Amino acid sequence: MNKLLVTGVATAAIALGVAAHSSSAAETMRVVPAPAVELPAASKPGVAVLAGGCFWGLEGVFDHVAGVKSVTSGYAGGAAATAHYEVVGSGLTGHAESVRIVYDPAKISYGELLRIYFSVATDPTQLNHQEPDDGSQYRGTVFAQNPAQAQLATAYIAQLNRVKAYSAPVVTTVETGKAFYPAEAYHQHFLARNPTYPYIVYNDLPKVAALKKLFPGVYRG
């Protein structure tokens, strides 16, 4: 689905359904248990790369998390030559729409970022799909930047499944050794620059609202 092509008819239909959808979407989000283990303390900024649906919403959520220094929308999982929006949209490149999060580990941990990710930023029970987008380019994946991240993410997914945090199994994957490529300039901070864009209002602002409601201690305006 090309998110930038929204017809007048679709825009009107979306506008009519925004209130109802925002309410129902917020109800599906929840605070999941924190990871049972954490990464060792570090003094240097950390990097997390996460995928799970449209990168606009992921970036919008983590832009509002205290301790996050920067968020960049982009692509991970495929080759540099195919890291372009129109090509990634084919679903054949191996890429997933992702965000690269640089964070201060003295203010927020990698495990807490994962907790927010699984609680409000994505539905981890959907395979190669996040409402309203379909395809492997919208898959839920933790792109671990080192073995410690991979171990923690794998253990956390097993923990969430063990305690049945959701009514269906978590299908989020963990991938290693995959480079991140920044997306085109017009995608960066799209939610912040276009808060009334119908796709944003309908699909992504409810995630930011859920972050504020469920994680008030780390939310920043």
79 is known as an active-site residue: no
Residue 172 Cα to chain centre, angstroms: 11
> Which residues does 196 contact at the CB level (< 8 Å), separation at least 6?
none
Note if the bond before 132 is cis, omega within 30 degrees: yes
Nearest 10 degrees: CA dihedral of 64, 174, 129, 122? -20
Active-site option among 29, 32, 54, 108: 54
Residues 157 and 174: beta-carbon distance below 8 Å: yes
Nearest to 206 by CA among 21, 2, 5: 21
Q: What is the largest CA-CA distance in the chain?
A: 52
Would you call 46 helix, strand, or coil by DSSP? strand
Nearest 10 degrees: CA dihedral of 111, 139, 71, 63? -80
Q: How many CB atoms lie within 10 A of CB 72?
A: 19
Residue with tokens 């060792």: 40
Q: Catalytic residue positions?
A: 54
